[in-house]
Amino acid sequence: MSSIIQLLPDHVANQIAAGEVVQRPASVVKELLENAVDAGATDIKLIIKDAGKSLVQVIDNGKGMSVTDSRLCFERHATSKIRQAEDLFSLHTKGFRGEALASIAAIAHVEMKTKQELDELGTHIIIEGSKFISQDPSVLPKGTSFAVKNLFFNIPARRNFLKSETVEFRHIVDEFQRVALAHPNIYFTMYHNGSEMFNLPNSNYRQRIVNVFSGKTNEKLVPIQEETEIVTIEGFVGKPEFAKKNRGEQFFFVNDRFIKSGYLHHAVMAAYEGLLPNGSQPTYFIYLNVPPNTIDINIHPTKTEIKFDDEHALYAILRSTIKHSLGQFNVAPVLDFDRDPNLDTPYQYQNKTAEYPTVQVDSSFNPFADEKPTKQSSGGSNSYKKQEVSSSNWESLYVGLKNDTSEVETFSFESEEVTPSLFDEKEEEQTINRTYQIHKKYIVSPIKSGMVIMDQGRAHQRILYEQFLTNMTVHQASSQQLLFPLQMYFSNNELKLIAELQPSLENTGFVFEAFDTDSIHISGIPVNTTESEISMVLEQLLSDLQDGIPDSSFSQNDTIAKSMAKSLAVKTGTYLTEKEQESLVNNLFACKEPNVSPFQKPTFITMRVEDIDKRFAL
């Protein structure tokens, strides 16, 4: 009987490995940038075309490779980072498995140029789908240039699974930012379709963060620093007032390697306890330095997850460090026991009782005492003369009034003609449907068959959703102009996203006056929207569009309408007056689909009188 188990050919094994290592163009960017960092480069350039589908090229000025190493680096499990298993627990480099270049070469056209500093000539290698096409000596500068073209050219199914260029480019930018933030001492530049996207000169951590995210990032940061035997912590956390809805600007670095850790994130959130509103996420850039033998990096193919030896101690140290920094820089509310000595009671008066001031009153003073009449001055001057009226003659003031009452009675007033009402007052009071608010969340309205219980938040979402969708479809949205334009700061990626959404946002009532390199100027906002809500609306919109902008215009408008409706709808705990409750009820049942919210959740339920009777009959 023939054997069933067979060894896979190298090109098939490389393609299988590529499925774990290379998921999208951003994976290629990550591997090539980390290789350039490991090569000791001080200047790294990233060139992208068509969001990495056509070209991903990384050029560095590192140490380069010899002729033998340049050919050997494309073999599986060939690496210069480790020699034995014990080296896995003393890693100081990014990569160590030796699978990245072999996997990339199996699914793309690869062109590599490399040269060491002391060599006269470099090496130029071309590989297509794990097949060596050529290897020639060439005159090259010191360093390595690695170009990956036509990614997934031999795996059409994988290429079809790629998202739009906007989504893929966002993933590339994420990987670029992670490497650039971890190494501020390296000069990074990035180009996309011939345009310069990032130009990051070598600097310190704070300046690198500001250069990457631009805007007013510097004003948002609070430094943290702690040094213990277990870990050395440094970096920055954001002030609570700058918290956002999404989790975009959150970075953990362990030994200059970006990682994802829900456990450490929970420690950060615990430090912000009581300082953030519900659903908000703080910004943080935290750099941890631990002994290499206390962590295990080799637990995930992308090396973004790390296992720590003593997670509980690390959790406590990180939480206390952030909490201390927030209090030290007067970000968190603290009790201030320092007193102003100028406001203290002087020492010589501490044991003395207060002396009350004495008030002298002239008991014989009478402001209503009779005064002598003033005489007229000579010369005919107009002086006023006081007329005294004797109290005994007061009755004379009212003489003749009884006789004049007939004249008063002769006045007649035109009577208004009273028209009978169409309905009896008692019947009219009974026909009025009053609404009631329960726990500032539900609105109860009586109907003929029973009553309607409405969720005020979902109902308002449905109303706003249809209004925004109608405005964007008809292009007749009204806008309220601001007296002073509103300037808002965003990162480069967020500004590009808003620029792409500008036509749709203008159809909802926004008026954009100008786009700067790090901010936008808004001179008009939608009706019934306050200026303080604009920041929340745009942040929620950017959070909802993390996976990219839909291709079709209807889907794009639908996403924007849903996001804005969710941001501007009344929340649970908001008190509504009786008129507001009635308006909400009437507007909901005027919608095309009043039964469900934009997110397909019920907006109201009905309870019949028969159902209520059955409950009492139990």
Backbone Cα Rg of the chain: 39
Greatest alpha-carbon span in the chain: 151
Short-list 37, 132, 38, CA closest to 80: 38
Is the distance from CB of 104 to CB of 22 less than 8 angstroms?
yes
State the helix-helix crossing angle for 262-271 and 311-328, rounded to 10 degrees. 30
173, pLDDT greater than 80? yes
- Which of 248-262, 492-506, 533-547 ranks highest by mean pLDDT? 248-262
CA angle 521, 527, 532 (to 5 degrees): 55
Q: CA neighbours within 13 Å on the CB side: how many for 63? A: 9
Q: Which CATH class is domain 10-200?
A: alpha beta
Task: Flag whether the pTM goes above 0.75.
Answer: no
Within a 10 A sphere around the Cβ of 153, how many other Cβ atoms?
Answer: 14
Q: Give 415's pLDDT tier (boundaries 50, 70, 90).
A: low
Q: What is the CATH number of domain 437-606?
A: 3.30.1370.100
71, pLDDT greater than 90? no
Mean pLDDT confidence for 138-167: 87
pLDDT of residue 91: 63
109 DSSP β-pair partners = 128, 149
Residues in the chain: 618
The amino acid sitting at 75 is E
Angstrom distance (rounded) from CA 115 to CA 121: 7
Every domain of the chain with CATH number 3.30.1370.100 lies at: 437-606
37, pLDDT greater than 70? yes
169-178, 292-301, 359-368: segment of lowest average pLDDT: 292-301
404, pLDDT greater than 80? no
pLDDT, tens digit, 9 for 90 and up, residues 203-217: 999 999 998 887 678
- Alpha carbon distances (Å) from 464 to 426, 460, 467, 480, 605: 37, 6, 5, 17, 20
**Residue labelled with tokens 């290379």:** 22
More confident residue, 546 or 282: 282
Every domain of the chain with CATH number 3.30.230.10 lies at: 205-328
pLDDT of residue 72: 85
pLDDT, tens digit, 9 for 90 and up, residues 177-195: 999 999 999 999 999 998 8
Mean pLDDT estimate for the chain: 80
- Percent pLDDT > 90 in the chain is 22
pLDDT, tens digit, 9 for 90 and up, residues 563-579: 888 888 888 888 888 88
Mean pLDDT confidence for 414-422: 53
* 3-state SS class at 55: strand
196, pLDDT greater than 50? yes
Domain 205-328 belongs to what architecture? 2-Layer Sandwich (3.30)
Every domain of the chain with CATH number 3.30.565.10 lies at: 10-200
